[in-house]
Structure 1
Amino acid sequence: MSVYFRGKKEQHVNLFLFEGFETLDIFGPVEILGQIQTYTLHYYSLTGGIVANAQGVQVVTEPIEQANPYGILVIPGGMGTRRLVDDKEAIRIIGKIAVSAAFCLSICTGSAVLGKAGVLDGKQATSNKQALGWVKSIAKQVIWIEKARWVVDGKFYTSSGVSAGMDMTLGFIKDRFGEIKAQDIANHIEYIWNTDSTEDRFAEI
């Protein structure tokens, strides 16, 4: 359901969490998305309850099936994706929501989850370069871009490792609200935004 906030349509941001997700993967983009007045952020997991990430941060979540299917879906990466891609029920639900979502943003190995769900088949995407070999083995029908800070293909935004998610999210804000808004947010959080999505020094390391 959508509501109107001060005359503007509110949009749900569905943040899907799982055991072992990476902290900055999700909370970097959260800091940025939270600056948009019409976005409301909601934390979900497969069954709801408390989810602990790779660094031991605990987050209270709701069951993912309660999410607004037409919102913005955000999926972080982290070591927990290694287990998540083998969870058939989770992949089914994520795939279903990804199809209906207005936009899908994945950070790091979160793209492996979308890839396993089949929603990236035939599309360009990227992931953490240190894990790209594994990610490719999970989703062979995806056109994996080996050198990119982030990649956009239609409604799908995928980023390289960890901090790249912040650059991608600012790029997403630029596409939705303009470059001035994106730069204003970067300035507000005192973040040096890497504006070139093709610049990926870590692909060469």
Structure 2
Amino acid sequence: MAPLNFGALVYNYQAIDVIGPTDLINSGSKEILTAIKTFAPVGDSIVSRAPEVIFHHIGLTKEPVALLSSHVTIIPTTTVDECPELDCLLLGGPNPAFFELDPKYAEFIRRHVAAGKLLFTTCTGAYVAALAGVLDGKNATINHLEFEWVKKRLPKVKWTKEKQWVVDGNLWTGSGAVAGMDMFAHWIKETFGHDVMTAGALGLDFEPRDIDSFLTVLPKRYDANGKQISTHVYEYYDKY
């Protein structure tokens, strides 16, 4: 399997919008799962299906960019002009009231989507995608706090807040930051397998929720009397 080229545009997004999903993907990668075999029951079958991932943080230049939260600064690893072809592109969420999309970023997003590649947004990252025009006529969601605000300003998008994330073709839009991590857990499960996703979540002590925000992603477990017991990721691995 060829390495997965995963990119995120660098601007003043909320840190967890990008760091959360990329850490989850990294935790379920072949490199990390191979390393944690020493500590956890991760079999060769799981490792063989886990992705090799190359992360790209894409700026207009390679100058450092201060993020919206947590006093975090990102130094881009590449630029929109130099970035290799991506398999997946992630847009984190800025403060939409003060955000302006650079034309070079807009063109980069449009070109990626037109090529049929996967575009993910978390939180108000959907606003960024909508500014680029790639969500026109598409079903999408956004952080539900900004839902009415963005619906009035970008009416060409079929905004919904019925679910925690929405998939429309190659466009995956998540609600708030942690819902975005739930969305990525679902994508990992669908793409690489439930056990790869669970092994990756194990390393973060992360229990992802489903699209309705319920803790039903991990398998249900029952005791000898038929009573449901915890499905915490560590207890899930007790059976090994």
Whether these two folds match at TM > 0.5 is yes
In structure 1, what residue type is equivalent to 2:23? E
TM superposition shift of 1:81: 7.4
Structure exhibiting the larger radius of gyration computed from Cα positions: 2
TM-score of the aligned structures, taking structure 2 as reference length: 0.73
Residue number among 82, 85, 91 corresponding to 1:75 in the alignment: 91
Match of 1:4 in 2: none
CA distances 1:38-58 after superposition (whole Å, capped 9, x unpaired): 111111122332111012211
Aligned alpha-carbon RMSD (Å): 1.9
1:172-187, aligned counterparts within 5 Å? 172-187=187-202
Instruction: Give the unaligned 5+ runs of structure 1.
Output: 1-7, 201-205
Q: How many residues align?
A: 190
Corresponding residue number in structure 2 for 1:31: 23
Matches within 5 A, 1:74-153: 74-79=90-95, 82-85=98-101, 87-100=102-115, 102-153=117-168
Query: 1:79 offset after TM fit, Å?
Result: 1.4
Name segments (4+ residues, structure 1) moved above 4 Å: none
- Who is 1:22 aligned against? 14
TM-score (norm 1): 0.84
Structure 2: 5+ residue runs without aligned partners? 31-51, 215-240
Q: Would the aligned equivalents of 1:125 and 1:144 in 2 still touch at CA under 8 Å? A: yes
1:147, 1:82 → 2: CA distance? 27
Cα pair distance change 1:101/1:50, threshold 3 Å: farther
Q: Which residue in the other structure is 2:61 paired with?
A: 47
Contact kept, 8 Å, 1:81 with 1:109, in 2: the verdict is no
One-letter amino acid of the structure 1 residue matched with residue 17 of structure 2: D
1:81-128 CA-partner distances (Å, limit 9, x unpaired):
74234x334323322223225211110010111112121222211100
Secondary structure, counterpart of 1:65 in structure 2: coil
